[in-house]
């Protein structure tokens, strides 16, 4: 109705975001997925329990792999350069920061991946009849996910 105050509490759109890793900032990714964390359940039943059921407790935390996709640019081998640093039991680990931005470009939500390293890279598929942008993807593992607001 006219004259009523508008509700200013809206869900955030997910299309305006940026990714920083290491010293590289604002990498133009098309998609980021896998921002999941899960506590694996432990079941336990002690021998003198009068209840005939198990007790469920939180166990080890399981972090999902993060998949990021971006367009292929000439002379940009950043995915492969990072992946190529994997040697026998050594890898260059870095923190990856994913920021969801508001319309002014200010972070509203931030996901920080601790000690991330690449586990898989996928180059674009090639098709002579296609008219799409070439997309490459990287899958990274990490040792912890923290989420902060504002």
CATH value at residue 72? 2.30.110.20
> Could you tell me if residue 43 is inside a domain?
no
- Indicate the average pLDDT of the chain: 88
Could you tell me how far CA 67 lies from the centroid of its own chain? 6
Alpha-carbon span 131 to 118, nearest angstrom = 29
Residue 114 within a domain = yes
pLDDT number for residue 5: 60
User: pTM score, two decimals?
Assistant: 0.82
Q: In the chain, how many domains are there? A: 1
> Of all helices (H) and strands (E), which one includes residue 81?
helix 78-83
Q: For position 108, what pLDDT does the model report?
A: 93
Q: List strand residue ranges (DSSP E) for the chain, in order.
A: 17-21, 24-27, 29-33, 37-44, 55-63, 66-71, 94-101, 107-122, 135-141, 144-149
What is the domain extent for residue 120? 17-36+63-149
What is the pLDDT, as a whole number, of residue 114? 95
Q: What is the pLDDT of residue 95?
A: 93
Q: Of 8-12, 63-67, 90-94, which gets the smallest average pLDDT?
A: 8-12
Q: Which of these, 76, 134, 144, 68, lies nearest to 112 by C-alpha position?
A: 144
Is 84 within the bounds of a domain?
A: yes
């Amino acid at each position: 109705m006219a004259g009523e105050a508008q509700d200013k509490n809206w869900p955030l759109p997910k299309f305006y975001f940026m990714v920083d890793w290491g010293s590289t900032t604002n990498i133009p990714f098309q998609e980021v997925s896998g921002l999941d964390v899960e506590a694996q359940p432990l079941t336990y039943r002690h021998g003198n329990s009068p209840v005939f059921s198990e007790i469920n407790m939180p166990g080890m935390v399981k972090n999902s792999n993060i998949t990021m996709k971006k367009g292929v640019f000439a002379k940009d081998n950043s995915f492969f350069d990072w992946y190529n640093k994997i040697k026998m039991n050594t890898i260059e680990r870095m923190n990856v920061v994913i920021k969801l931005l508001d319309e002014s470009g200010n972070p509203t939500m931030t996901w920080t991946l601790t000690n991330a390293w690449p586990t898989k890279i996928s180059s674009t598929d090639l098709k002579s009849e296609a008219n799409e942008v070439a997309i490459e993807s990287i899958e990274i593992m990490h040792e912890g996910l923290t989420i902060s607001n504002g």
